[in-house]
C-alpha cells in the first residue's frame, strides 16, 4: 500500500522548505521529495578551494518586516545572524558614485548628464500623475516613460535596473515594479471610505527615497538560512533525496470536470496525499498530469521566460574592496553585459581563508552563444574594469544559474499559487509577482498558506 501524507512538497529548494516547515508546524504530516542529493536549490553555499561561495551573490531585502521575517518569526526555531548590507555604488565607464536613492540624490548624480537628470525627473512627475489618475502601472513599461533624447549612458543605466530587478529589458519592464510597497501584505491600501488606492506609499518611497535600511546578508553565507530551516523541521517531516517526480496524480471530483490531486509518482514509488505543494518549474506542470488542463492556463505557462545568470567568484590574496558595499556595473556596450558585485567576506571574514578576500559577480542577460563564451566575456569585463583583480587572483569559480524561474515581463507568462487542480498549489519565484529572489519566494509561500487556509485545508 502506498504511503499517505497530509501534504507532499515537490522540491527542496527554499520555497519548498519554507512551505514544508510552515505546514508541518501547523500540524500537517509532510513528505519532501527532491531530485538532487542536497537541499536548498539556488539558496545554498559550498566550498571551493577553501572559500565558501553562495549560489550567486545574494542580498535579503525587506528583512525588518517583510515576508521572510514573517515566516521566520512564525516558524523558525533558530534564526540566522544577519548583518547590514551597507551601501550601493554605481560604476559607469570607470567612474564610481553612490547610488541615487532620492530626488536630491538624482539631481546631484553627475554620472548622467544634467539634461538627462531633468528629463528623468519629469518622468517621475509623469508617473505620479498617472498613479493619481488611476492608470494601471502594470501595463506601463519603463520604455514608455523614458524620454526619447536620453544619452547612451542614461539608457544603459535604465537597462541595468530593468534587467537586475525584473530579468527583462525596459520595453517589457512594468513601472509598478519600481514603486512596489515595502509592506509584506499583498492587499492594496485603502482610503477612509474603504476605496483601494493603488501604489499609495510606494510613490512616497520613490519620491522621498533614502537609502534602504532593511537589507542584510546572512553571516556564514546563504546556506545559514537553509540550515536554520532544516534545524526547525519537526519530526512530522520526512525528506527523500535523489527521488525524481514522474507525475502528478489526480481524480475527478464527484463526477465533475474538476480534477483533484491524489498524490504523486516518482522513480522510486507512489505516494498518496490530501494536498501537493509544487515548487518546481510551473512550465512543467502540463507534462506531469495525464488529463488536459485549460488551454488558457497552459498557454500562459508556455509563455513564461526564465531568468538565466552567470556568477563568477574571485578569491583574492588581499582585501581589494574595503567597504561593506556592493557595486552595480552598468555596461555601455552593445551586448548589455551588466554586472553586480558583492564582497561577501567583508560581511563574514570566515567565508575566505585567513588573509584572503572573496568577491562574487553576477551577470544577468548574458547574450552569448556558448557557456565558454559567456565565461570569457565575464572574465574580460571584470579584469578590464579593475585590472588589479587579476594580479591578486587566488581562485576563480563559475556558476550558471536560474535565479528567477520567471521574468517579471509585461508580455510574458507568469504562474500563480493556485492551479486548475484542486489542492495542487505552486510556490517559488514563478508563482507570485512581487519583489525578487528570496523575498519573492517568501511572498509566494505566504500567499500559498493564505490560500490553503481559505480552501479549508487549515483551521481558520
Q: What is the pLDDT of residue 14?
A: 97
Please report which confidence band the pLDDT of residue 197 belongs to, taking 50, 70 and 90 as the band edges.
very low
In this predicted structure, which of 46-60, 101-115, 166-180, 186-200 has the lowest mean pLDDT? 186-200
Given a cut of 50, is residue 35 above it in pLDDT?
Answer: yes
The tens digit of pLDDT for each residue in 321-352 reads: 999 999 999 999 877 789 999 999 999 999 99
Helices (H), 133-279: 142-145, 152-166, 202-208, 223-232
Q: What is the pLDDT of residue 6?
A: 98
Q: In whole angstroms, what is the distance from residue 383 CA to residue 354 CA?
A: 24
Name the packing angle between helices 223-232 and 14-25 (round to 10°): 20
Please report which confidence band the pLDDT of residue 200 belongs to, taking 50, 70 and 90 as the band edges.
very low
246 versus 367: the higher-pLDDT residue is 246
Q: What is the pLDDT of residue 460?
A: 72
The tens digit of pLDDT for each residue in 77-133 reads: 999 999 999 999 999 998 999 998 877 787 888 999 999 988 888 887 788 778 778
pTM score: 0.92
Q: What is the pLDDT of residue 368?
A: 57
Q: What is the pLDDT of residue 242?
A: 98
Given a cut of 50, is residue 191 above it in pLDDT?
Answer: no
Q: What is the pLDDT of residue 209?
A: 53
Given a cut of 70, is residue 199 above it in pLDDT?
Answer: no
Q: What is the pLDDT of residue 254?
A: 72
User: Which of the given ranges, 89-103, 135-149, 169-183, 350-364, has the highest pLDDT on average?
Assistant: 350-364
Rounded mean pLDDT of the chain? 89
Q: What is the pLDDT of residue 175?
A: 87
Q: In whole angstroms, what is the distance from residue 82 CA to residue 62 CA?
A: 12
Residue with cell 508556455: 302
- pLDDT > 90: what percent of the chain? 72
In this predicted structure, which of 3-17, 99-113, 397-411 has the lowest mean pLDDT? 99-113
The tens digit of pLDDT for each residue in 294-308 reads: 999 999 999 999 998
Given a cut of 70, is residue 69 above it in pLDDT?
Answer: yes
Torsion from C-alpha of 203, 207, 210, 212, nearest 10 degrees: 30
Q: What is the pLDDT of residue 180?
A: 63
Given a cut of 50, is residue 264 above it in pLDDT?
Answer: yes
Q: What is the pLDDT of residue 204?
A: 43
Q: How far apart are the first and last CA of the chain?
A: 33
Q: What share of the chain is helix, strand, coil (3-state, %, to 5)?
A: 30, 25, 40
Hey, is 329 helix, strand or coil?
Answer: strand
Amino acid at each position: 500500500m502506498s504511503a499517505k501524507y497530509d501534504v507532499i512538497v515537490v522540491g527542496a529548494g527554499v520555497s519548498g522548505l519554507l512551505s514544508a516547515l510552515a505546514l508541518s508546524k501547523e500540524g500537517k504530516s509532510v513528505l519532501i521529495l527532491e531530485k538532487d542529493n542536497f537541499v536548498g536549490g539556488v539558496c545554498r553555499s559550498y566550498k571551493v578551494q577553501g572559500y565558501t561561495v553562495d549560489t550567486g551573490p545574494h542580498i535579503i531585502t525587506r528583512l525588518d518586516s517583510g515576508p521572510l521575517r514573517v515566516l521566520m518569526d512564525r516558524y523558525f526555531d533558530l534564526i540566522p545572524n544577519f548583518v547590514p548590507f551597507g551601501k550601493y555604488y554605481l560604476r559607469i565607464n570607470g567612474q564610481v558614485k553612490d547610488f541615487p536613492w532620492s530626488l536630491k540624490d538624482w539631481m546631484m548624480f553627475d554620472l548622467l548628464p544634467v539634461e538627462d537628470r531633468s528629463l528623468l525627473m519629469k518622468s517621475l512627475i509623469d508617473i505620479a500623475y498617472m498613479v493619481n489618475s488611476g492608470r494601471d502601472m502594470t501595463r506601463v513599461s519603463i520604455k514608455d516613460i523614458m524620454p526619447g533624447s536620453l544619452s547612451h549612458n542614461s539608457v544603459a543605466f535604465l537597462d541595468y535596473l530593468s534587467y537586475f530587478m525584473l530579468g527583462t529589458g525596459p520595453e517589457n519592464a512594468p513601472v509598478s515594479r519600481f514603486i512596489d510597497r515595502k509592506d509584506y501584505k499583498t492587499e492594496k491600501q485603502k482610503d477612509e471610505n474603504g476605496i483601494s488606492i493603488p501604489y499609495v506609499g510606494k510613490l512616497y518611497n520613490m519620491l522621498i527615497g533614502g537609502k534602504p535600511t532593511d537589507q542584510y546578508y546572512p553571516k556564514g553565507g546563504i546556506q545559514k538560512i537553509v540550515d536554520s530551516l532544516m534545524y526547525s523541521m519537526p519530526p512530522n517531516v520526512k525528506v527523500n533525496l535523489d527521488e525524481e517526480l514522474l507525475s502528478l496524480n489526480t481524480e475527478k471530483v464527484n463526477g465533475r470536470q474538476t480534477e483533484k490531486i491524489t498524490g504523486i509518482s516518482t522513480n522510486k514509488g507512489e505516494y498518496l496525499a490530501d494536498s501537493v505543494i509544487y515548487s518546481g518549474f510551473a512550465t512543467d506542470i502540463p507534462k506531469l498530469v495525464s488529463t488536459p488542463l485549460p488551454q488558457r492556463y497552459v498557454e500562459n505557462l508556455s509563455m513564461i521566460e526564465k531568468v538565466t545568470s552567470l556568477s563568477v567568484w574571485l578569491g583574492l590574496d588581499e582585501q581589494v574592496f574595503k567597504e561593506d558595499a556592493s557595486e552595480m556595473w552598468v555596461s555601455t556596450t552593445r551586448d548589455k553585459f551588466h554586472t553586480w558585485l558583492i564582497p561577501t567576506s567583508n560581511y563574514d571574514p570566515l567565508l575566505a581563508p585567513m588573509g584572503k578576500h572573496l568577491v562574487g559577480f553576477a551577470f544577468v542577460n548574458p547574450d552569448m552563444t556558448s557557456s565558454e563564451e559567456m565565461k570569457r566575456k565575464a572574465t574580460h569585463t571584470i579584469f578590464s574594469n579593475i585590472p588589479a583583480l587579476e594580479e591578486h587572483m587566488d581562485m576563480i569559480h563559475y556558476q550558471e544559474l536560474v535565479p528567477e524561474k520567471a521574468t517579471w515581463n509585461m508580455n510574458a507568462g507568469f504562474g500563480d499559487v493556485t492551479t486548475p487542480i484542486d489542492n495542487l498549489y505552486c510556490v517559488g519565484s514563478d508563482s507570485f509577482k512581487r519583489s525578487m529572489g528570496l523575498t519573492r519566494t517568501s511572498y509566494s509561500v505566504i500567499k500559498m498558506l493564505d490560500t490553503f487556509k481559505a480552501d479549508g485545508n487549515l483551521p481558520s
